[in-house]
Amino acid sequence: MDNTIEENHIKALCKGDQKAFEILFLLYQPKLVFFLHGFIKDNEQARDMAQDIFLSIWNNKEKLAEVKSFKAYISIVCYIYS
């Protein structure tokens, strides 16, 4: 995803735009599940963890205002969560 487009989706998400969240979710959730599965070797648990991470992102969406790269942000959140 183009960085400018991603930044626009992040800004929209900060304002509560559900469509922006859905786009970021659909783009990054499979990658996150794959990444988590590499650590825990349990696909169901990896999906649950990814779901929890995205729920946390939605619940704290206002904090994304300064985020420029969602990929980097989600990597940090994943590291903290696991």
Mean pLDDT of 34-50: 94
Q: 52: part of which helix (H) or strand (E)?
A: helix 43-59
Q: How confident is the model at residue 68 (pLDDT cuts 50, 70, 90)?
A: confident
Residue 31 CA to residue 1 CA, distance in Å, equals 14
Q: What domains can be seen in the chain, in order of their start residue? A: 3-81 (1.10.1740.10)
Residue 43 CA to residue 64 CA, distance in Å, equals 28
When the pLDDT of each residue in the chain is averaged and rounded to a whole number, the result is 91
Residue 7 CA to residue 5 CA, distance in Å, equals 5
Q: What pTM was estimated for this model as a whole? A: 0.88
What pLDDT was estimated at residue 13?
Answer: 96
